[in-house]
Structure 1
Amino acid sequence: ELFLLEHASKNQYDYYHLLSGVDLPLKSQDYIHQFFDKNNGKEFINFDECVRNIVIEKRVKYYYFFVGGYRSQNLFYRYFTKIFNRISRTVQNILGISKIDEGYVYRKGSQWFSITHSLAKYVLDQRENIKRNYRYSFCCDEVFLQTIVYNSPFFAMVKRIDEKYNNALRYIDWEHGNPYVFKSSDFNNLIKSKALFARKFNVENIDVVKKITQHILNEL
């Protein structure tokens, strides 16, 4: 994410949007540009509201090794990773090891965002601290941006939208999947959403992608 922001910001765009390879726009380019022109200066970042600070801190406090093992197809490696990190956390706790910055309130949320050039530059100015503080952490892509913004003047510019995950303008369904993969039967809910982007989609359910694409083309 830092690498992408660093290279994209060389041309100084108004907004930077982090998307995955299984995301899809739900609106036309004209609609998306008009939306950000209207909300110029606002930051679109998701913050989980119901997670206690101590739970988030555990992701950063300890050194996690072999983190890639959590998603490995090798069951033995996955099991080894969980056991090793559990023992490692216990030992670190006994030794009083902590990477927590006591002056920070830690927050988390969805990693996908739409942020201004000013915030992108603010984040990049801290990239060495980010690398040092979050290296060997656990799922820090859901923590580092939210924590930086929450402890900065930029938090006042976060756009509040009263719909789950829509603070980041992303339609993501965590209730029916990890996350849920959209199908043709979800088409109406998707296009009626206030979100500008949605995830996730795959080739096995390509019909819904075609329907959304055609819907956008029809509105041009």
Structure 2
Amino acid sequence: MFNYPPIVCHHDFSKSDLSVDTLPKNVSFVRPHLQTAWGEFSLVEATVQAIKLLYESENPPDWFILLSGTDYPIKTAKQILTDLSLSQYDAHIHHQEIIYKVYQENVKMSVMWQMLAYRRYCSWNLFSLPFFKDFTIRWGHPLLSKPSPPFSQKLRCFAGSQWFSANHRTAKYIIKFHSQKNSLTSHYRRRMFADESYFQTILANAPHLNLKNDDYRYVDWSTKGAHPKTLVMEDLPSLLASPCHFARKFDIDVDSNILDQLDTMTLP
């Protein structure tokens, strides 16, 4: 689609082997790989290392798009490149400020997510019981605790989807910020699901960066569960009508026909 652009992949070879000999030369892998685990800060480290390797190449791109293995393009390369080249923003990233709301007449999913994110990123870690592995008690009610450092009025907490698109200026800022010793990085190293807040907090607090609160990802949360709906052929009209660049999640074992149909519409 994109005429062999530079692609950087992080793969945890300790989890499963992967033959890279047959891949084209424009694909690079983070070496040595990091041992990653679901929800842990290792995912943030792997992402930063991939961005760093991408922008150390001879011809670093103007924009990068962070993708998972369950993402798929739903627009042509020409449309995606046109949107990014004409963008007035440095990053397209879903970011929402995390403010704990105590009283709500109707507890909606967005409010519940706010409360969950507050407990994840802003509550105090009171103590750990060493005789229980990885067992930590967190005190999260705003009337009984204050937000955990390093957050303040000058450094606010943000969270959102971990998949985003950003330009080279944003990439360089992420790399520089992460390489320096700072309280924010130290704080997130002790938090689960940091990949859904770390980059949002860094970028949303950077005064020189202009963010659009739209990651151009089509995701269907109509199931109201912990995971989005797996997209199938019946979702195709909605995908084509969407302005998004990519959609998730797909599963070839559930419905491969929708991917074949998208190929006929997006490939030159």
* TM-score normalised by the chain length of structure 2: 0.63
Q: From the superposition, tell whether residues 58 and 32 of structure 1 become closer, same or farther in structure 2 (CA, over 3 Å).
A: same
Distance in 2 separating the partners of 1:41 and 1:197: 18
Counterpart in 1 of 2:48?
2
Q: Matches of residues 190-201 of structure 1 in structure 2 within 5 Å?
A: 190-201=239-250
Q: Which has the higher helix share?
A: 1
- Given candidates 144, 160, 172, the residue that maps to 2:198 is 144
- Structure 1 residues 22-33: aligned runs within 5 Å: 22-33=70-81
Q: Structure 1 residues 108 and 39 mapped into 2: Cα distance closer, same or farther (>3 Å)?
A: same
Give 5+ residue unaligned stretches, structure 2: 1-46, 102-114
Which amino acid in the other structure matches residue 72 of structure 2? L
Query: Cα distance 1:95–1:142, how it changes in 2: closer, same or farther (>3 A)?
Result: closer
1:59 corresponding residue in structure 2: 120
In 2, Cα distance between equivalents of 1:97 and 1:44 = 27
Instruction: Determine helix, strand or coil for the equivalent of 1:146.
Output: helix
Alpha-carbon distance in 2 for matches of 1:64, 1:29: 49
Q: What is the Cα-based RMSD across aligned positions, in Å? A: 3.1
Q: Report how many aligned residue pairs link the two structures.
A: 193
Q: Are 2:157 and 2:197, in contact at CA under 8 Å, matched by a contact in 1?
A: yes
Say which of 222, 233, 247 aligns to 1:175: 222
Alpha-carbon distance in structure 2 between the residues aligned to 1:188 and 1:64: 49
* 1:7-44 CA-partner distances (Å, limit 9, x unpaired): 11113311111110000011111221122112165420
User: 8 Å contact 1:26–1:196 — kept in the other structure?
Assistant: yes
Superimposed CA distance per residue, residues 127-159 of structure 1 (whole angstroms, 9 cap, x where no aligned partner): 14354221120211111111112211245x223
**Secondary structure of the corresponding residue to residue 55 of structure 2:** helix
SS in 2 for 1:208: helix
**Residues 91-142 of structure 1: CA deviation (Å, up to 9, x unaligned):** xx99999443334110111111100111111111111435422112021111
Unaligned runs of 5+ in 1: 66-76, 161-166
**Counterpart contact for 2:72–2:247, Cα < 8 Å:** yes
Change (3 A) 1:185 1:154: farther
The SS at the match of 1:4 is: helix
Contact 2:217–2:247 at 8 Å: present in 1 too?
yes
1:20 is aligned to 2:68: yes
Report matched runs for 1:64-143 at 5 Å. 84-85=135-136, 88-90=137-139, 98-102=148-152, 103-127=154-178, 128=180, 129=182, 131-143=185-197
Aligned to 1:48: 96
Aligned equivalents of 2:163 and 2:247: distance in 1?
Answer: 10
Residues of 2 paired with 1:175 and 1:95: CA distance? 34
Tell me if the contact between 2:89 and 2:211 (Cα under 8 Å) persists in the aligned partners: no
Give the direction of change, closer, same or farther, for the CA distance of 1:96–1:28 in structure 2 (3 Å limit).
Answer: closer
Describe the shift of the 1:3–1:192 C-alpha distance in structure 2 as closer, same or farther (beyond 3 A): same
Q: Is the 8 Å Cα contact of residues 22 and 199 (structure 1) preserved in structure 2?
A: yes
Report the TM-score when normalising by structure 1: 0.75
Shift in alpha-carbon separation, 1:47–1:97, aligned structure 2, 3 A: closer
More strand by share: 2
